[in-house]
Amino acid sequence: MSIYSFTYRVLETALHFINTAIVTVKTKEIRKELAEAEFIPFVQPIFTHEQKLTGCEVLLRIKKEGNFYSPHRYIEVIEQSEMINNIMISLLHTVGCEFSQYKDHLPEGFYFSFNITASQLRNETVIAEIINLCLSFQEKAGIILEIVERDHLVLDDDMLHILDSLMSDGVMFAIDDFGTGTSSLKYLEHVGFSFIKLDKTLTVVSKDELIYKNVIKAIVALSNSLNIKLIAEGVENNTQLHLLEREGIDAMQGFFLDKPMNIDDFKCKFIIFSDI
Ligand code: C2E
Ligand code: CA
Ligand code: CA
């Protein structure tokens, strides 16, 4: 072994050690911060291009001292610890309980979309809870798992096998944050993803034009040829909505259409007092 490759190995090991130590310290701090917190599902509606409700994304909210917080400050550390599995199980369970009596009132083709990391797919309790929810909604609502990977998406053979098996149980998969520089592109061809979620950094508008219009056109063509549906994230105004519709995006999600809200508000607004 040359002196260079030896030095490289030593540095790599040291870096790994430092990273692990940082995660351990951060996890401890966050655990302390979250000791009294509750983990609550909020939901953000997703609409078809005809502006009909078609589904919702389940988004974790951290409830502390009566206030609800986005998990963005904590999520990386939470995802790297086993906390994420208990949180996911609790979100799945709550959504199941909250919507079970409204199954027949959901619009046709409705789906609940959950965020999940690839490594969580190895957790048997998480998988069991997902299948449980999927079975409990049967034809009344679909379950989508949005695979989020903060670095880059790696699906090994084991993982692909798990995905296949969940798909045969009726679970659908989406690639989340598509276009943020992950290596997810190669998985589109064979993995059987049903949805691509176009990251909000790709759907921005300036001077009444989509900044990434040509990239979006290419993604639309690609998704059409693979029979994958496209959901645009971060729709914040009417111009953006119409420009995205014109490009042939199937569904839209964003503050212009509606914000993430608690499940009671969602039920009142879209299920109980609505003729969807
Ligand atoms: P995400 O999966 O990309 O979720 C969409 C985020 O965009 C949400 O942020 C939502 O509030 C925000 N958003 C929705 N519409 C708009 C818009 O029009 N403009 C802008 N600028 N933002 C919009 P949120 O709720 O703060 O969640 C942040 C991230 O945390 C999520 O991003 C997701 O990656 C992660 N996350 C949330 N819940 C979970 C969860 O249950 N499990 C895991 N693993 N990650 C989660
Ligand atoms: Ca997501
Ligand atoms: Ca996203």
Residue pLDDT, tens place only, 169-191: 999 999 999 888 666 788 888 88
Atom of ligand 1 nearest to the CA of 44: 14
216 pLDDT exceeds 90?
yes
pLDDT in tens, 85-104: 999 999 999 999 999 999 99
Rg (CA), the chain: 20
CA of 32 to the centre of ligand 3 (A): 28
CA of 93 to the centre of ligand 1 (A): 20
Q: Which tokens belong to 141?
A: 């609502």
**Strand, coil or helix: what is 97?**
helix
C-alpha to C-alpha distances, 30 to 33, 75, 174, 183, 257, nearest whole angstrom: 5, 10, 29, 29, 33
pLDDT in tens, 5-49: 888 888 888 888 887 777 777 778 888 888 889 999 999 999 998
Q: Once rounded to an integer, what is the mean pLDDT over residues 103-126?
A: 94
Hey, what's the torsion of the CAs at 23, 40, 260, 57, to 10 degrees?
80
**Contacts of the segment 184-187: beta carbons below 8 A, 24+ positions apart:** 184/149, 184/152, 184/153, 187/153, 187/155
- Residue 180 in contact with residue 149, Cβ under 8 Å? no
pTM: 0.91
Ligand 1, atom 15, lies closest to the CA of 254
DSSP code of residue 234: -
CA of 239 to the centre of ligand 1 (A): 22
274 pLDDT exceeds 70?
no
- Note the pLDDT of residue 30: 81
CA of 174 to the centre of ligand 1 (A): 14
Is residue 70 in contact with ligand 1, taking CB distance under 6 Å? yes
Is residue 117 in contact with ligand 1, taking CB distance under 6 Å? yes
**Backbone phi, psi, residue 71, to 5°:** -85, 5
- Note the pLDDT of residue 181: 67
